[in-house]
Amino acid sequence: MTQKLALVTGGLHRVGAAIAARLAREGYALALHKRSEAAADPVLAEALAETGAEHRSFAADLADPTAVDALIPAVVEAFGRAPGLLVNNAALFAEGEWPDLSAAAIAEMLQVNLSAPVMLAKALVAASASARPAIVNIVDQRVAQPVPDQIAYSLSKSALWQATQTLAVAFGDRARVNAVAPGLTMATNDYSDAQVERLAKRMPLGALPTPAQIADAVVYLAHAEAVTGQTIFVDGGAHLAPMGRDFVALERG
Q: Are strands 85-88 and 231-234 parallel, antiparallel or unpaired?
A: unpaired
Local structure of residue 113 (DSSP, 8 states): I
The Cα–Cα gap between 178 and 253 comes to 37
How far apart CA 135 and CA 137 sit, in angstroms, is 7
- Taking the C-alpha atoms of residue 195 and residue 155, their distance in angstroms, rounded to an integer, is 26
pTM over 0.85: yes
pLDDT at 1 over 70: no
Tell the burial category of 226 from Cβ atoms under 10 Å away from its Cβ (0-12, 13-18, 19+). Answer: exposed
Question: Quick check: 210 and 235 in contact, CB under 8 A?
Answer: no
**Structural domains in the chain, sorted by start:** 5-188+208-241 (3.40.50.720)
Provide mean pLDDT across the span 190-216. 93
**How far apart are alpha carbons 50 and 107 in whole angstroms?**
41
Model confidence over 57-91: pLDDT tens digits?
999 999 999 999 999 999 999 999 999 999 999 99
CA distance 60 to 196: 33
Asked if 18 and 212 touch (Cβ cutoff 8 Å), the reply is yes
* Residue 190 three-state SS: coil
Tens of pLDDT, residue by residue over 149-179, are 899 999 999 999 999 999 999 999 999 999 9
pLDDT at 98 over 60: yes
